[in-house]
Amino acid sequence: MQHIDTKSHLRGESLYLDDIPMVRGTLFGVVYPSPVAHGRIRSLQLDDALAMPGVVRILTYKDIPGRNQIGGIVPDEPLMAEHEVHFHGMPIAFVVAETDEQARAAIKKIQVDIEPLPVITDPRQAKALGNLIVPPRTFKIGDSTGAFKNCAYIASGRADSNGQEHLYIETQGAYALPLEGGQVRVYSSTQGPTAVQRHAADVLGISMSQVEVDVKRLGGGFGGKEDQATAWAVFCALAAYLLQKPVKYSLHRMEDMRMTGKRHPYSSDFTIGLDKDLNILAYEVCFYQNAGASADLSPAVMERTLFHCTNSYYIPNVTATAYSCRTNLPPNTAFRGFGGPQGMFVIESAIAQIAEQIGVHPSRIQEKNLIRTGHEFPYGQIAQSQAPACWDKACRHFDAKRMMEEVAQFNRNNVLCKKGISFMPICFGISFTKTLMNQARALVHIYTDGSVNISTGAVEMGQGVSTKLIQVAASVFSLPAEQIRINSTNTYRIANTSPSAASATADLNGKAVELACNALKGRLTDMASRILQKDISSIHFRGGQVYVHDAATELNWKGLVQAAYVNRISLSEHAHYATPDIHFDSSIEKGHPFAYHVYGTAITTVTVDTIRGTYQIDAVKIVHDTASSMNRMIDKGQIEGGLVQGIGWMTMEEIVFDQEGRLRSNALSTYKVPDIYSVPGIIDVEFHETDEDNLAIFRSKAVGEPPLMYGIGTYFALRMALKAFNPSGEIGFDAPMTPEKMLMGLYQKKSS
């Protein structure tokens, strides 16, 4: 089945927040952001701004009827600054005017006097000062200290990975309308409608039942709208509630880049130990997460870093510690992979380092240590592993041996260009790491003309979840997909939703749809059995027709639905799904947190221009563990998109904050993302299809985030090419590998 938005996207007919027809009298809001990263507010001068044409009102924290608080996990994030500012871009006031232009002109007239305080942007420095968001956590298996004594090889080092701008095509925004009886309706570009509802209610001082949040679709979220869509929606809701007028705010790109958090940069220290046969015996790692100025989702992101710190490998002795460090940057947040990629970059760095020390290609160590079924992850879950199967298939299918030889031969014969090859196995756990979040609900209506309408908590952000949910209903009812429609995501239809995140949206909401549809199908089967006077077990639906065993009957879907209605049988169902068998005890850091894992292997080849430091990615060849894909086109799109996004993070996307905590890479002229010229020449995707029994919807494994981590392979392929030119250069592990860094590395001398 095609992605249901294909045609309307192509024709520009899909509706986003900015396409919602505005009610007459709609006002426009704009945030006045802090001009400094850290300081104490001495005075705030609003009079000049208030006198500007069209300005209706300027809200500060003093206008908040409820709580000035939007922190999701830790209540440490005011909607608007009170007496202190903690990052450059932190909201101080919200200007409401008759037009967007007037509001933007007015914020230029606001004057604030801020006594500067020290600005910290480095997580290690924050840690040294004791500025932590939450207490550190340690995952431990075996005895790493003892195991190092038995190692033939030991390597230590440091690895740094930078942040990443989400760069959803649709910037953040919201549109709020006051309704009667103190209710508000909020259209929001959010992955988490319930988070918006909860915080809007809290800030307005009203109940959640008074806040309707509605989401049609997003022009991309990538984690950036899991938590950080909330502020803008709450601003609009607050202004709409106080002024009793509709209020809209959609951020300009530079505002969005400046005020919102990004992927967490990490700085990490590692030590890895191998025996003489290249088995990894021990691994110790310490992560310093740059959380930014408030917690946001950082504690959960940090947790997933720990879960994925050994990537796709079995290591019997591991000690991994993580610190979530408070700095004066915009609060960093969820980004595809949710801390997993940052953890995986470090173990891959450790393997690259020790391989170099020993003088073998890292792939020998990687292959030797792939996790197998029955092995235990450091957090206690036992692997049901496809890691060796994906690796072996990649080697066979893409003839890895020949690829390795070609690279070696090229490098023997060339100086002006060097090639590199890397292998990147991945392993990603599917489920929210917080067990309670793994629940979802669906509401399915069958109308008397036989058409079906489904509602869930899933937010469509391009990933194709709406299409998959329609496929679920179509499959259970055996109806053509055109007969099934999916609704906007709305907190009045579906309550208490988890955000659409963790790659689990289709699994959780799909299972709920399946349950609801099966319940309805049960009632309709019963009805058909009464009409046809046949045993229930003999009744089947196929293509909109009712069958008894293999024989079509006169009774069709529509007739059956009408008969059920006439007989006063409910044609609506609300179902609840909660992932079974998952649990985690954070007091011992052990459990079975994931419904299953997704595996895969990417082989990457690159060519570096050794004079200029520029490079091309020749090919990325992937075997990806889809199990039984329910939509190969969508899944392929996710794999290719995730890969390229990962490559961007690892190669060209370079976020730069200056010493004052000001974002320098604040526009697309200074922040480079992959374009059609920089993507791999070849992307080959081979599905690793199994009928493995798993908890995925229709056994079709989640695909949203895992492929991003194939992009890490590009960093290490580039590094191999660099090393082929300059074997003794000490270049460390510092992503992204921009062409500038590449050039420096090519001519870096060994420090003696």
The residues with which 285 forms a beta bridge, in sequence order, are: 270, 320
* Shortest distance in whole angstroms from residue 387 CB to ligand MTE: 21
| Of the residues 171, 172, 433, 726, which one makes contact with ligand HPA according to CB under 6 A | 433
333 binds, among ligand MOS, ligand MTE, ligand HPA, none (CB under 5 to 8 A by kind): none
465 binds, among ligand MOS, ligand HPA, ligand MTE, none (CB under 5 to 8 A by kind): ligand MTE
**Residue of minimal CB distance from ligand HPA?**
502
8-state DSSP, 376: B
Rounded to the nearest angstrom, the gap between the alpha carbon of residue 28 and the centroid of all alpha carbons in its chain is: 30
Residue 448: other Cβ atoms inside 10 A:
12
Cβ(200)–Cβ(233) below 8 Å: yes
| Of the residues 459, 502, 623, 655, which one makes contact with ligand HPA according to CB under 6 A | 502
C-beta of 338 vs 725, nearer to ligand HPA = 338
* Shortest distance in whole angstroms from residue 696 CB to ligand HPA: 16
Half-sphere exposure of 170 (CA within 13 A, CB side): 26
Residue 685: other Cβ atoms inside 10 A:
21
The CA–CA distances, whole Å, from 674 to 167, 224, 609, 651 equal 11, 18, 18, 9
C-beta of 304 vs 636, nearer to ligand MOS = 304
The CA–CA distances, whole Å, from 586 to 378, 433, 483 equal 13, 11, 46
* Stretch of 276-284, 426-434, 472-480, 507-515 contacting ligand HPA, by CB under 6 A: 426-434
* Shortest distance in whole angstroms from residue 268 CB to ligand MTE: 22
* Shortest distance in whole angstroms from residue 385 CB to ligand MTE: 22
The residues with which 539 forms a beta bridge, in sequence order, are: 548
Cβ(331)–Cβ(291) below 8 Å: yes
602 binds, among ligand MOS, ligand HPA, ligand MTE, none (CB under 5 to 8 A by kind): none
* Shortest distance in whole angstroms from residue 502 CB to ligand HPA: 3
Distance between CA atoms of residues 260 and 715, nearest Å: 26
The residues with which 603 forms a beta bridge, in sequence order, are: 423, 621
Distance between CA atoms of residues 498 and 492, nearest Å: 15
505 binds, among ligand MTE, ligand HPA, ligand MOS, none (CB under 5 to 8 A by kind): ligand MTE
* Shortest distance in whole angstroms from residue 504 CB to ligand HPA: 8
Cβ(259)–Cβ(251) below 8 Å: yes
Distance between CA atoms of residues 700 and 321, nearest Å: 33
Identify the CA nearest to 414 among candidates 718, 680, 724. 724
Identify the CA nearest to 375 among candidates 597, 212, 173. 597
434 binds, among ligand HPA, ligand MOS, ligand MTE, none (CB under 5 to 8 A by kind): ligand HPA
* Subset of 208-227 contacting ligand HPA (CB under 6 A): 226
Distance between CA atoms of residues 679 and 647, nearest Å: 8
Distance between CA atoms of residues 718 and 733, nearest Å: 12
**Residue of minimal CB distance from ligand MOS?**
223
The two beta strands, 247-250 and 173-178, are: antiparallel
459 binds, among ligand MTE, ligand MOS, ligand HPA, none (CB under 5 to 8 A by kind): none
Q: Is 300 in the site for ligand HPA (CB under 6 A)?
A: yes
- What is the SS3 assignment for 448? coil
Query: Catalytic residues, which ones?
Result: 705
C-beta of 446 vs 494, nearer to ligand HPA = 494
By CB under 6 A, name the binding residues for ligand MOS: 191, 221, 223, 226, 334-336, 338, 501-502, 705
For ligand HPA, what does the binding mask look like between residues 462 and 501, x meaning CB under 6 A? ---------------------------------------x
* Shortest distance in whole angstroms from residue 195 CB to ligand MTE: 15
Q: Is 334 in the site for ligand HPA (CB under 6 A)?
A: yes
- What is the SS3 assignment for 22? coil
By CB under 6 A, name the binding residues for ligand MTE: 220-223, 336, 461-463, 465, 500-506, 638, 641, 702, 704-705
* Shortest distance in whole angstroms from residue 439 CB to ligand MOS: 16
Cβ(212)–Cβ(184) below 8 Å: yes
C-beta of 175 vs 335, nearer to ligand MOS = 335
Residues that bind ligand HPA (CB under 6 A): 226, 297, 300, 304, 334, 338, 432-434, 437, 501-502
